[in-house]
Chains A and B, each alone.
Chain A
Amino acid sequence: MPEHREAAAGYHRYHIPTQPAPDIEKWPSRFKVKVRRSGLAKLLIKEVFHYRGRKDVILSRPCMYGVFSGPVGGFMPREEHCVGCLRCTTEFPEFVRIEHNPERRSLGDSYFTFNYVDQIAYEASSGLVPVRGAGYRGKFGGEGWDGMWTDMSEIVRPTRDGIHGRETISTVVDIGFTPNYLEFDPSGQPTGSTPHYLSIQLPIVLDAPQTELAAGVARIYARTAAELDTLVVLPFEYTTGLGEFGDAIVPVVRPEHARRLGQLGFTPRIIEMQGWDEALYAAITTAFPLAIVALRTGFEETDALVSYAQRGIKVFHLLADYHGRSADGGFVLDLIRGAHTAFVDAGIREEVTLLGSGGMIAAEHMPKAMICGLDAVAVDTPLLVALQARFGGECSARGASSFRLPTDLNEAWGVQRLKNLCASWRDQLLEILGAMGLREVRRLRGEMGRAMFMKTLEADAFAGLLGYTEASNG
C-alpha cells in the first residue's frame, strides 16, 4: 500500500467512548414528595364509587415518571423518580405537595452550588450534553462567568457544520513553545529557536489535588488522561507505580524533590515546578533535557510571568483557589485576561502556553476561559464531583479543603465517569465553536472580539436612562 494511503487508512477521528456510569453512592433525591395519606384515601374511596369500580380509571395516576407506581402508589411515593413537573400538586393541591429537597441543595458549597453538582453528575454518569426543554431559568447575568456571553454567527459562515457528525472541528491544543517565527541559515536549515511542544486532543488537562487526596484518585486520573490522549498533573509523591501512563503524567515537583528526580519511574514529557526556583529548574533541565518545564504558580504572579518566560519557562499553569479567586481577591476570568494581556503586550503570547485552574467548574467556563486567554483548562474540583466526592464545608483553599470520596470508589467506574465528563464537556465546546463558526479550538484563544460582557452591553443599552450610572452595573 502506498505510504500516503497507509497514512490515510490509519486516520481515525478523535472520539471519546462513553457509556452509562450510574452513581455508586446514592445521592438525595431532587424533590420531596409529600402526600397526605388521609386525603389520598378519601380520594380513592370517592373515585371507587364515582367510577363504579373501573380500576384503570381509578388508578390512573398523575405521574408519568413512576413516583406513584410503587406497590402502594401514593402512600409511599418513590421520590427518586420525581422530576418536579408539579402535575400531581396541580391536580391534587389539597393533599400533594412537592418541595425542593434541602439535602440535595446542600451538595457542593457556596461556589460549587448544587446546580453545578447536578450538572456534573449528569455529565459524568451519561457522557451526554445536557439537553432540556424550556428556556433559561437562571439569573439575568451577574458577576464573573455569568456576566459573559459568547458570540455566534448568523449566516455568513462557510466553515460551519462541525457538530452532529458532519465535519470535524478540531479540539487539539499544543502545550509548549513555538517561536514567533523561524530563522534559517543560507543552506535552509533552521537556526535559533525551534518549536518544542506536544499536542493533546482536547483543551482539558486533569489537575489532581496537591494533597493526600491525590492518593485515592491518582491511578484513575492517570489512566483517564492516557486514554483521552491528554495530561494529568499529579503530585510527585503520587506518581509511583504509574509508569505505564508516564506520557500522560505531569509530575509537580518542589525544591525538596530536586535530588529525587531520578526516582520517577518514567521520563516525563512535561514537568511542573511548584513556584519558581532557579536550582530546581536547573536540576529538572539536567535530569530531563527533553522535557517541557512548566511553572505552577498563582495568578498573583502575573507581573512576573514575562520575566520567567525570559528565563526559559514557556508553559505556565496559573492557579486561583477553588472558588476562582486569587490571594488579592481577583476573579479568575479577569485574572486570565490579565495574564494573557501581559504576554500580548510583551509580544510573546504565541511563544508560551497558558493553563489555568480554579473556579472553572462547568462546561461553559472552558470556552469562556479560552476566549479570555487560556490555551487549555486544567480541571480540578469538577473531577472530584464527577467521582461523587462530597464537600466538607466550604472548599476554596487548595491545601485546606476537605473532600470525601465514595468508599467503594473503583478504577473502572472512576475512569468511565471522568471520560464521560470530558466527552460531555468536549461536545459542549463543539456546540460553542460551531455556533461561532470556528473549526478549531486554537482559534478561540484570546478571541475577545467574539465575547460579550454584561457591563459593556448594559452600558450600551441603558446609558442615559434615568437612574442608570456606570456604577449601576458594578
Chain B
Amino acid sequence: MANIAGKTDEQLIVEKHIANFHKGFAYWPRAEEAPPALGDSRWTQDLILATWLMAETGQVPDNGLEYKIGASGGGFDVLDFNIPSQDQWLPADTEIDLSLPLNRRDDGAQLKINIPMYGGGMSYGSISEHVMQARARAAQHLGTFTSTGEGGYPPSLVPYKDHIITQVATGMFGVREETIQYAPIVEFKYAQGAKPGLGGHLLGDKATDVVAAMRESVPWVSLFSPFPFHSVYSVEDHRKHVDWIRTTNPRALVSVKVSTPTDVDMVAVGSYFAGAHIVHLDGSYGGTGAAPEIAKKNIAMPIEFAIPKVHKYLVSENVREEVTLMASGGVRTAYDVAKAIALGADGCVMGTAELIAIGCTRCSNCERGRGCPFGLTTTDPLLQQLMPADWGQQRIVNMYNAYAIQLRDLLRKLGLKSIRELRGRRDLLRYVG
C-alpha cells in the first residue's frame, strides 16, 4: 500500500489521477481496440495512439498502428515517397544529418537546430505553465526551440531562454524589453493558421488572476487580440518592426509568422525584403486553444498548397537561399515533416503533436470553463498539476527521438545524407489520392 501519511487530500488526488493517466496512456496504444470516440479525420485513432506510444518509448511503433498518415483524404494524406529499390539505399551505418541552419543571411547569430523542427507558439493562459516548462526543457534537451506564444514570458522559463523564441503578437502581451533581449529569435505573429485574419482568443474563464497579471489585463475578461498589427499596413511598416527588434536585441533573428492567403507568396517575399531571417507559414488547419469554427475550416489555404507556392516564388526571386522557410498548420507526423520539406520548406513548426505526446485527446474542449481535463490547456491550479513538467519533457523528447529515427530511415532510403538535401525534391514524392 502506498504511503499516504502526511499528504494532503489535494496531493493524493493529483497523484491518483496522474497514476491513472499514465496507466491509460500506456494501455490504449497496446489494446486490441481503440477508444471508440477517439480521433477524427485529421488525427485518427491510430495517429493519436501511435504518438502516445512514441512519447512513451522514443521508438517507432511496431504494433501495426498507422503512424505516418491520417484519413483526411487530401494534402499530406495523399502524398507518399517514391522509395527506390533497396540497392540504391545508403548503407545502414551512414551518418544522416538532420540539423538545420536557421539564419541564411549575413547578419545576426548563426543558429542551427539539431532537428528540422521546433515548437510553435502556445500562450500562457491557453496552456499551463507546466506545459510551457516541459516544452522549453525538451527544446533545450533536443537542441532546438520553442515559442512563448503571445501570452507573456513566465519567469520560470528564463533558465531556458536560449531555446525560447519570444513571440510578439498583436495583443503585445508580455512584450517587454527584457523578453526581447532574452530571445535568440523574435517571432512576429502577423496571423495564425487556425484563425487567419482574426486575433488571438482567450475566453474569460481562462483569464485567471495569474494569467491576467501576466498579460496586464483584467481577470475573467475575454481577451481578443486585435488584427492586424495596427502599426503595420505595409512592408515598409513591417521593416520598422524589424528595426525596433534589432535596436532592442541586435543579435536576435527575426521570424515572421504569417497565414496562407491567396498572395502568400508575395507576403513571404515582402517579409524577406523587410529583413526576416525566417518566414513561418502557418496553414489553415493548424491548432489553437480557441478559435471560431468557421475560421478553422474556411479561411486561407492548407499548408500543403502554400509551401510549393512560396518556395517557387522565392526561387524565382533569387532569394530562396537567403531565407529559412518553416511550415506549420496540420503537420502531424515525421512523414508530414518530410513531405513539407520535399514540397519546399526547410523545416516545420510543431504544436498539436507535442500536446498529444503529453496526453491530449483532441477533444476540442480547450476553451471551455476551467480548461483541459488533462491539465494541458488550463491554468486551473489543480488541473495543471496533472501534467508534471518533467514527465512532459521526457514525453516530448521521446516523440522527437522517434521522429528523428523515421526521418533518418527515410532519408537513407531516398539516398540523401542530409535533411537539407530533401528540400524542394518534389521528384521524390508521388500522389496517391
Contact = CB atoms under 8 A, between A and B. Distances in A.
Interface of A: 31, 49-52, 54, 56-57, 60, 62-65, 83-87, 89-93, 97-100, 119, 129-142, 148-158, 160-161, 163-164, 363-364, 368, 428, 431-432, 434-437, 449-450, 452, 454, 457-458, 460-462, 464-468, 472-473
B104 interface: no
Given A137-B43, A435-B198, 5 more contacts: A85-B363, A133-B289, A140-B285, A161-B226, A460-B308
Contact of B37 (A63, A84, A363, A465): A84
Residue from B9, B28, B291, B305 having most chain A Cβ neighbours under 10 A? B305
Interface stretch (B173-181, B295-303, B404-412): B295-303
Contacts of A90: 20-21, 24-25, 28, 35, 359, 361, 374
Given A137-B41, A428-B292, A142 B369 contact: no
A469 to B, nearest CB: 8
Contact of B4 (A52, A56, A163, A473): A52
Contacts, number: 289
A154 B228 contact: yes
A449 B261 CA distance: 11
Contacts of B365: 83, 85, 132-133
Given A149-B300, A454-B74, A89 B35 contact: yes
B238 to A, nearest CB: 6
Contacts of B79: 462, 465
Contact of A131 (B23, B203, B308): B203
Contacts of B352: 134-135
A297 B13 CA distance: 65
Given A100-B36, A462-B431, A155 B234 contact: yes
A83 B343 CA distance: 38
Given A129-B294, A363-B294, A57 B367 contact: no
Interface stretch (B88-96, B189-197, B316-324, B388-396): B189-197
A415 B57 CA distance: 56
A454 B289 CA distance: 27
15 contacts: A57-B16, A60-B16, A62-B17, A64-B383, A86-B361, A87-B373, A90-B21, A133-B377, A135-B287, A135-B352, A154-B258, A435-B196, A435-B198, A435-B227, A435-B295
Interface of B: 1-2, 4, 9, 12-13, 16-17, 20-21, 23-25, 27-28, 31, 35-38, 40-43, 72-75, 77-79, 82, 190-191, 193-194, 196-198, 201, 203, 224, 226-229, 232-235, 237-238, 258-259, 261-264, 267, 284-302, 304-305, 307-309, 329-330, 343, 352, 359-370, 372-374, 377, 383, 426-427, 429-433
A450 B261 CA distance: 9
B72 A139 contact: yes
B68 to A, nearest CB: 16
A465 B363 contact: no
Given A85-B361, A154-B228, A465 B298 contact: no
Nearest to B344: A461
A381 B293 CA distance: 21
B366 A133 contact: yes
B290 A133 contact: yes
A448 to B, nearest CB: 11
Nearest to B74: A140
B14 to A, nearest CB: 9
